[in-house]
Structure 1
Amino acid sequence: MLRPFLLGFFCLSTLAVAVEPLPVVTVQPHAVDLAFPADSLVEAVQQATVGAQVAGRVLEVKADAGQAVRKGDVLMRIDAREAAEAARAAEAQYANAKVGFERTKSLVTQKFMSAAALDKARADLDSAAANRAAAGAGQSHATIVAPMTGVIARRHAEMGDMATPGKPLFTIYQPGSLRVTASVPQYRLKAMRTVASARVEFPELGKWVDAVKVQVLPTADAATHVSLVRVTLPEVPEATPGMFARVYFVTGQAEKLTVPAVAVLRRGEVAAVYVQTADNRLSLRQLRLGELVGQGEIEVLAGLSAGEKIVTDPVRAGIQLKSAN
């Protein structure tokens, strides 16, 4: 049985409609998608965390969060004096090993030294060459460059900070490839086998998009007993990693009576719509609503019948009723 409205807020008296016509729709049962929702977070498909590979103080910062960068762009410079000195020492050791190898080679040719001495000299030269290459690479690591083209999501270090090997410096992502990851409980996994498509809602953006791909990961969390489902998105310029989204996994279709969400007035737990009667009068009628079943559509469980007309602009309808009193 429907709950009566509170007196003073919902007056069920019927008044004549003003001259200015109101936008109305006729409610009829129609095929809607059967879907169950799951909260999710937006994440980047291509994302990289750039970390320090040498120890040193940050001398220069050339990029910040929100900045678009191209692969190879310089992001930061680290004090590389220790690495430079290590490279100079490795270069000197290589030069000394090379001279020693040439001298030993000459002496072996003249039969003054054994072949074993030449083998040792060659090994020393190879070791020195490897050390020189490693030192040179370590010196180059003092210049932090972008590993891919994208947008900087976060900068983890400031000028003057001490960088150490493994410390994150930047997080970069490609904005054109995004997905959402939803947690689905185990009792829903059977229904996931029949999922043909999915729609993703961004409540803060007021936007809906159709999923490109739905992938159920073949693992479940031992503590929460949920499985992760990855939903690949089309290009959504307004979406960013970390944003909240809601995924509706479509499992089939059914005939349901629905009303536009914009037509519903809510006060606490009470919901109502303005109904236009056959003699062009308005009445405010309480409804019992179900779940959101489509883009901007809500299922009606009780309070309306097929063929009735409702006003899709309840604000204007309320103003007209108030002015008529």
Structure 2
Amino acid sequence: MKRRLALVLGSAAVLLVVLWQAGALRTGTIAPGPGSAPEPGHQPWETTQTRQADIDEIYEAVGTIRPRTQTSIEAQITAKILEVRVRAGDFVKRGEVLVVLDDREHAARADSAAQAQASARAGLEQARQAVGEARAAFDTAAAQYKRIKTLFAERAVAEREMDQAEAEYLQAEARLSQAREAVAGAEAALGRSAKQHEEAGIAQGYAVIRAPEDMEVASRTAEPGDLAVPGKPLLVVQTAGALRLEAFVREGLIARARPGTELSVAIPALERTVSGVVEEVVPAADPTTRTFLVKVGLPDLLGAYPGMFGRLLVPAGRRTAVLVDARAVTRTGQLETVRVLDGDTWRTVFVRTVPAQGGEVEVLAGLAGGQTVALPGGVQ
């Protein structure tokens, strides 16, 4: 009997605890639950109205942030790398030395070309002197031939002397012509040697690679001791601080993304949305995705780097949407609910929303315009 009494008293105590935790033993007004009606003349919740409004429909084209200019630095000669003076992340000024190559071979070629040029110059001088001597001999032979020819006409000299004078004249003329050809050959040789010397000097200048513009080093793929050859990248540099978003826009909206158009760009990693101007549209669609590559210039953004993800927000027209105060939506896990006044009864409705502007959300399903909904936290 005592054991049964103890069991009854324990059960009663547990029941009282449960009722107390459920609020059944508390005094005051109990708020109505789903499907309950408020007391006459008493409004238990702060309320708001859903509304219909025409809003801009936005198409989000996913893209990647890239530098406006990216250049691959390569060697123009084959040579051993002596120095690489920069690393990834360094900022360089125009004309700053980036890579130094071994130029001894090209320096030797330049010296050899300089010596050949000097030799050709000396040969030209000798050829010109030979022309002067041949000119003097020709003038003498011509004067002698003219005099003998006059005397032969007067029958004052024999025919043999006339023939000898003519032969000497023709020989002198031939020697003068040969001397002139030698001068032309020496001038050509001097020109060739000068070009060779210039080419050797240019090749020697390629041993020092400098920055083409004020840029940032994106990557370094060579080290001292490596062999630099034409076509093998040594460094990749990009325009410092000048970035743009490259995104693919579907063909139906390409008319809204013409060059010069200002569009919004969302960068989730920075939690920012900025304005950019379309700089370029590749004039050919991808036949697989039917999209165009659009390049939008970005303002200077602290924390933005090439390769980051971004969205290009392209206006796609206007549509009618149902909007409600974002505070009216209660989220439990992935479920969204609102309290809706249906006549004199409050009921819970499941909804699906997306963010809008001005502290509102767009209701995709579950509500219509002009309905009264409760704002949680406003219980009186």
TM-score normalised by L of structure 2: 0.64
* 8 A contact 2:95–2:213 mirrored in 1: yes
Distance 1:75 1:284, change over 3 A: farther
Are the equivalent residues in 2 in contact too, given 1:175–1:237 (CA < 8 A)? Answer: no
Is 1:96 the equivalent of 2:119? yes
SS in 2 for 1:38: strand
What value does the CA root-mean-square deviation take over the aligned residues? 3.6
2:138 matches 1:74: no
Aligned to 2:58, which of 35, 47, 57? 35
Report the CA distance shift for 1:100/1:260 in structure 2 as closer, same or farther (over 3 A).
Answer: farther
The count of aligned residue pairs is 282
Aligned with residue 216 of structure 2, among 151, 168, 172: 151
- Which of 103, 108, 129 is 1:106 aligned to? 129
Correspondence 1:302 to 2:365: yes
CA displacement, residues 134-180 of structure 1 (integer Å, 9 cap, x when unaligned): 11111111111111002111112122221101221122222332212
**Could you tell me how far 1:275 is from its partner in structure 2?**
7.0
Q: Are 1:44 and 2:67 an aligned pair?
A: yes
1:238 to 303, 312, 318: 303
Which residue identity does 1:185 align to in structure 2? R
In structure 1, distance between residues paired with 2:330 and 2:102 = 62
Counterparts of 1:51-66 in structure 2 under 5 Å? Answer: 51-66=74-89
Shift, 1:249, TM fit: 0.7
Deviation digits for residues 11-63 of structure 1, max 9, x if unmatched?
A: xx78xxxxxxxxx9987555543221111111222332211111112111110
Q: Is the 8 A contact 2:214 2:240 kept in 1?
A: no
Deviation at 1:221, TM superposition (A): 3.1
For the 8 Å contact 2:48–2:375, the answer to whether it is kept is: yes
Q: Give the structure 1 partner of residue 351 of structure 2.
A: 287
User: Which one-letter code corresponds to 1:156 in the other structure?
Assistant: T
Secondary structure of the 1:212 match is strand
Given the alignment, which residue of 212, 215, 226 partners 1:161? 226
- How far the C-alpha of 1:298 sits from its partner, in A, is 5.5
Whether the 8 Å CA contact 2:99–2:208 is kept in 1: the answer is yes
Taking every aligned residue pair, what percent have the same amino acid on both sides? 31
CA distance in 1, matches of 2:235, 2:332: 45
- The one-letter code sitting in structure 2 at the alignment partner of 1:59 is L
Task: Give the distance between the partners of 2:187 and 2:48, measured in 1 at CA.
Answer: 90
One-letter amino acid of the structure 2 residue matched with residue 70 of structure 1: K
Determine the structure 1 residue equivalent to 2:201.
136
CA distance in 2, matches of 1:39, 1:162: 41
- Partners of 2:48 and 2:225 lie apart in 1 by 64
Query: By percentage of residues, which structure has more strand?
Result: 1
Structure 1 pair 100/28, CA: closer, same or farther in 2 (3 Å)?
A: farther
Give me the whole-angstrom Cα distance separating, in 2, the residues matched to 1:79 and 1:95: 26
1:21 is matched with which residue? none
Unaligned segments of structure 1, at least 5 residues: 1-12, 15-23, 278-282, 312-316, 318-325
Inter-CA distance 274–232: structure 2 relative to 1 (3 Å threshold): same
Match of 1:173 in 2: 238
Moved more, 63-72 or 37-46: 37-46
- Partner of 2:64: helix, strand, or coil? strand
1:184 alignment counterpart: 249
Q: State yes or no: 1:272 paired with 2:336.
A: yes
2:17 aligns with: none
Q: Deviations over 1:95-114 (max 9, x none)?
A: 11111112212212222642
Deviations, residues 195-224 of structure 1 (Å, cap 9, x unaligned): 964211111221111122364322123455
Q: 1-side partners of 2:215 and 2:314: how far apart?
A: 30
Show the 5 A alignment for 1:213-224.
Answer: 213=278, 215-224=280-289
CA deviation vs aligned residue, 1:285-320 (integer Å, no higher than 9, x gap): 743135x66699753212456674667xxxxx8xxx
Could you say what secondary structure the match of 1:110 adopts? helix
Partners of 1:152 and 1:300 in 2: CA distance: 48
Distance between the aligned counterparts of 1:123 and 1:295, measured in 2? 82
Aligned counterparts of 2:99 and 2:223: Cα–Cα separation in 1:
10
2:184 to 119, 129, 140: 119
In the alignment, the residues of structure 2 paired with residue 181 and residue 147 of structure 1 have an alpha-carbon distance, to the nearest angstrom, of 24
Separation in structure 2 between the aligned mates of residue 141 and residue 252 of structure 1, nearest angstrom: 56
